[in-house]
Amino acid sequence: MAKYTKLQVIQAMKETGMVPVFYNGNLETAKQVVKACYEGGVRAFEFANRGDFAQEVFGELVKFANKELPGMIMGIGTVVDAPTAALYIQLGANFVVGPMFNPEIAPVCNRRLIPYCPGCATASEVGAAQAAGCDICKVFPGDVLGPAFVKGVRAPMPWSQLMVTGGVKPEKANLEAWFKAGVTCVGMGSNLFPKDVIAAGEWSKITELCKNALQIIKEVR
């Protein structure tokens, strides 16, 4: 079961402005990364459903976060169908993110009052997701759509709360462009977790990247 309410999850995303997106099949590596992000100020973390037995790693990560990292909200990403969403909700996912909008996932999440953030690439998809009860829609792929898409959607639909993922970098010019366009928060993956840093186990560097990114977000908002 989810530990945090829907309102708490959405508030954490809004307040910090950033949701790291990460996958690693090694539980100990994943724990260290989540902890490093937490120490850097992150309070909502998206673990990607991208490998065999990812659900087993996620289940243990949720237990770890609940015990060792008070206030860290764990969610699951790369969810494309309702059965997968239900599986992860049972393992303690506090929010569900997908690369596309599947209307069959929305009622599964709504029934448990868990945010569903589907990937949307058109104004029609954003509107359909909102009609299905999605408070925050994921703009994806962000590097293809660009900040102009966010600005364009929010002009006639200013109530839209958008989280962009794809091509987001922990750099001022990049983050400033997204937040000035009107995003509620950003999802940040590979640019926050350099492969060489992960391989070397230099967790403090990830903490520093998170701190810097969150500071930039505060400045550009």
How many CB atoms within 10 Å of residue 96? Answer: 29
Q: Tokens 């010019």 map to which residue?
A: 173
pLDDT digits (tens, 9 = 90+) for 192-221: 999 999 999 999 999 999 999 999 999 999
Q: How far is CA 50 from CA 40, 47, 55, 60, 180, in A?
A: 24, 9, 10, 16, 31
Report d(CA 99, CA 68) in Å as an integer: 30
Per-residue tokens: 170 = 């922990």
Report d(CA 32, CA 190) in Å as an integer: 16
DSSP labels, 6-57: HHHHHHHHHHH-EEEEE--S-HHHHHHHHHHHHHTT--EEEEE--STTHHHH
Give the total residue count for the chain: 221
pLDDT digits (tens, 9 = 90+) for 48-98: 999 999 999 999 999 999 999 999 999 999 999 999 999 999 999 999 999
pTM above 0.85, yes or no: yes
Q: Which of 50, 48, 22 is closest to 35 using CA atoms?
A: 22
pLDDT of 1: 87
Task: Look up the CATH number of domain 6-220.
Answer: 3.20.20.70
pLDDT digits (tens, 9 = 90+) for 109-156: 999 999 999 999 999 999 999 999 999 999 999 999 999 999 999 999
**For the chain, domain boundaries:** 6-220
